[in-house]
């Protein structure tokens, strides 16, 4: 996944939802989320970044399990 795609999706969500400053944006450690352009976008909109620890995908697994329940 490229940083531009991630940035465009985040920008679309910001425009539609208009979150307050200080929104917490939690991601994995993918290079697109660590890119300079992504960090600049977050800073420009007052979004705080949070990343999973290296090798920690437990949060993603919990989400998948919860979302697969009918």
The per-residue pLDDT for 50 is 87
Domains of the chain: 3-67 (3.30.420.10)
In the block, tokens 């352009």 appear at: 37
Tell me, rounded to whole angstroms, the distance of Cα 2 from its chain centroid: 13
The per-residue pLDDT for 61 is 44
The per-residue pLDDT for 55 is 62
Q: Please report, in tens digits, the pLDDT of each residue of the chain (70 residues total).
A: 689 999 999 999 999 999 999 999 888 888 888 899 999 999 999 999 988 767 655 554 444 444 444 4
What tokens does 25 get? Answer: 């944006």
The per-residue pLDDT for 65 is 44
């Amino acid at each position: 996944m490229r940083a531009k795609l991630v940035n465009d999706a985040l920008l679309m969500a910001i425009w539609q939802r208009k979150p307050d400053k200080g929104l917490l944006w939690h991601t994995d450690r993918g290079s697109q989320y660590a890119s300079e352009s992504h960090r600049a976008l977050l800073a420009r909109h007052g979004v705080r970044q949070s990343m999973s620890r290296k090798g920690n995908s437990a949060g993603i697994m919990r989400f998948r399990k919860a979302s697969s329940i009918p």
